[in-house]
Amino acid sequence: MIRQQKTHRGAKNSTQHKNSGSMNTKSTERDASRQAANFRRVREAHQTEVAEDYVELIGDLIEQTGEARVVDLASRLGVTNATVNGTIQRLVRDGLVTSEPYRSIFLTADGAKLAAATRERHETVRDFLIALGVDAKTADADAEGIEHHVSKATLSAFRKFLRDNS
């Protein structure tokens, strides 16, 4: 009789394990799907960050020197010329810049709008951090990362704070 109870419990546990395995599979599939969606969103956000950084820097270079060259972008971004060329090709496809081999890179109207918006967002974040007491050098470096992740609502709050406290 004791053996039967053990066998019975073992069978019962085995059945429970099988059922929970089925539930775990569904849960794992949902988790995997959610995780894939999160990673996709992060990759897309990263691509947007890269595009924003490039068009902002291209605009700055054109304003400062009259042109934006691959070698200058690579130097300022700390990447290789090949990396810049690959990104520039994507930006051309996205309609944000124009470029010819061995020529300067120029912003399209859409690229100029994105550059201006990115620059304004950077300045707002930087000025807000400075208003909180962060030194200018640190605020500028921190703003470089924050500017890509701050929501419109938060930016509006930053602007209001800066208006009300200047």
Contacts of residue 83, defined as CB under 8 A and 6 or more positions apart, other chains included, come to 74, 77
Residue 132's region, left for phi above 0, alpha for psi from -120 to 50, else beta, is alpha
**Cα angle for residues 109, 113, 116 (degrees, 5° grid):** 135
User: What is residue 22's predicted lDDT score, i.e. its pLDDT?
Assistant: 55
Q: ∠ CA 7-10-15 to the nearest 5 degrees?
A: 125
What pLDDT does residue 159 have? 96
Q: Mean pLDDT for each consecutive 10-residue tract of the chain (166 residues)?
A: 47 48 65 83 78 95 95 96 95 95 92 95 96 96 90 94 93
**Domains of the chain: which residue ranges?**
2-107, 111-164
What are 107's strand-pairing partners? 97
Q: According to the model, what pLDDT value does residue 166 have?
A: 83
What would the two tokens of residue 156 be?
Answer: 């509006």
Q: Which residues pair with 106 in a beta bridge?
A: 98
Q: Residue 8's pLDDT is what?
A: 47
pLDDT for 135: 97
pLDDT of residue 11: 47
The whole-number pLDDT of residue 25 equals: 66
Class (C level, CATH) for 111-164? mainly alpha
Neighbouring CB atoms inside 10 A of 31's CB total 11
pLDDT at residue 155, rounded to an integer: 95
- CATH code given to domain 2-107: 1.10.10.10
